[in-house]
Each structure stands twice: as structure tokens, then as C-alpha cells.
Structure 1
């Protein structure tokens, strides 16, 4: 069984849709659950958006840091 409640492979989405899909998936998580984000570049701008909009409600852990694949575990704290 996966350690992740959900996975978003952002490489499958158009750039204009990526953040909406990621945030929708995050909001659907229950407290304590973790999602996996897979991307083809460092999602640092997304991390800044999470900090600006949801500071204190999530965890962010890089699992793989490129150069071709980036994986991040994003957990829902509250």
C-alpha cells in the first residue's frame, strides 16, 4: 500500500491547470494525509504559493530533486 493518499503527476497537465489540480488534490486530503507531487522541474514557486496562502497547514518534503524528475511529499497538517 502506498504511503500517499493521492498523487499528482503535474507533467500530465497543461501549465495553466497544474496549480489548480494540485491545490484541489491537497484540499481533498484529510488531516494527516500526504500527497505526492511529481514534476519535471523544481516546484519552488508552488511552495511559495503554499506558504503565502496556507502557511502552517502543510508540510513539504523533497523526495527527489531532479534534474529530470522532482518529487515532493505534501502533507495536510490541519
Structure 2
């Protein structure tokens, strides 16, 4: 069953972030700000309409091993990624 970001079922410490509703020119700044606001052990559940491969490289370059990434859903038009802050 596909994840529906418009109706998130989120566990404690997991915060939804739906990038589809943010103007493209502000998305990366908003994403980096949201990740920076998380405490170790918290997760941002990121929803997008495309696989953000350049963004993932930028996140890794900026946060290094301090942010772990795992795909929850990876289908055309429906990408959901969990970003876990570890440090």
C-alpha cells in the first residue's frame, strides 16, 4: 500500500515534511532548516513528487553521517524518505 502524505500516520519523534506544497525556489532552504531543527533520534518524513537525488547529495555533503536516509516509498510521482538525525 502506498504512503499518502496528505494523511500522515506518524509515530512520536517522526515529523512530516511535504515538499510538494513549498515553492521550488524555497524548497532546499526549507528542507535544510527543518533538518537542522531536529534533535538526535528524531526523523523527518519527507514527501515529494520526484526522487531528489541532487538534494540527497547536498544533504550528505552538509550533514555527513549525522543524517541517515531510508526510502519508505520510491515510485514515480510518489517519493517518501525518512531522514533520521543521529548527531
TM-score clears 0.5: yes
Query: Which of 41, 50, 64 is the matching residue for 2:73?
Result: 64
For structure 2, the residue ranges without an aligned partner over 5 or more in a row are 1-8
- Equivalenced residues, count: 78
State how far apart, in whole Å, the 2-side matches of 1:16 and 1:57 are. Answer: 25
Give the drift of 1:5.
3.0
Aligned match of 1:73: 82
- The TM-score with structure 1 as length reference comes to 0.91
Superposition misfits of 4+ residues, deviation over 3 angstroms = none
Query: Which of 9, 14, 20 is the matching residue for 1:5?
Result: 14
**RMSD over equivalenced CA pairs, Å:** 1.3
Task: Tell me, yes or no, if structure 1 residue 42 matches structure 2 residue 31.
Answer: no
Aligned match of 1:51: 60
- The TM-score with structure 2 as length reference comes to 0.83
**Contact 2:72–2:82 under 8 Å retained in 1:** yes
